[in-house]
Amino acid sequence: AQSVTQLGSHVSVSEGALVLLRCNYSSSVPPYLFWYVQYPNQGLQLLLKYTSAATLVKGINGFEAEFKKSETSFHLTKPSAHMSDAAEYFCAVSAQGGGGADGLTFGKGTHLIIQP
């Protein structure tokens, strides 16, 4: 079974500041890890994914995330926040190789607020 914990339901940063959204996972097998972004009244769009290749993953819109097995973490960062980054962000985990129900297990989401 897998689970995801996102620390902070709301995160507020100033425009131009570092964005750090935290995600910790639990998985009994090697995981695939994902970050999705959701803009108001829209579906979820993939930002980036980790599938057991490089531990530092680069995604769209200047975001990146680092897989740290020892810390069971997959935190999302962006060096300089832009107003257009304001959205809901979801971390998700999927078990490699099957076992149990399929699909991704999502965290509860972090609402990113950008202050001008």
Binding region for another protein (CB under 8 A): 9, 32, 34, 36, 41-46, 49, 51, 90, 94-98, 101-109
Min dist CB 70 to another protein, Å, is 25
Cβ proximity to another protein: between 73 and 105 the closer is 105
In the complex, the smallest distance separating the C-beta of residue 7 from another protein, rounded to whole angstroms, is 14
CA distance 19 to 16: 9
The smaller minimum CB distance to another protein, of residues 13 and 95, is found at 95
Distances from the Cα of 87 to the Cαs of 28, 29, 49, 64, 75, in angstroms? 31, 31, 18, 16, 16
Compute the least distance from the CB of residue 68 to another protein, in Å.
21
* Closer residue to another protein, CB minimum distance, 14 or 45: 45
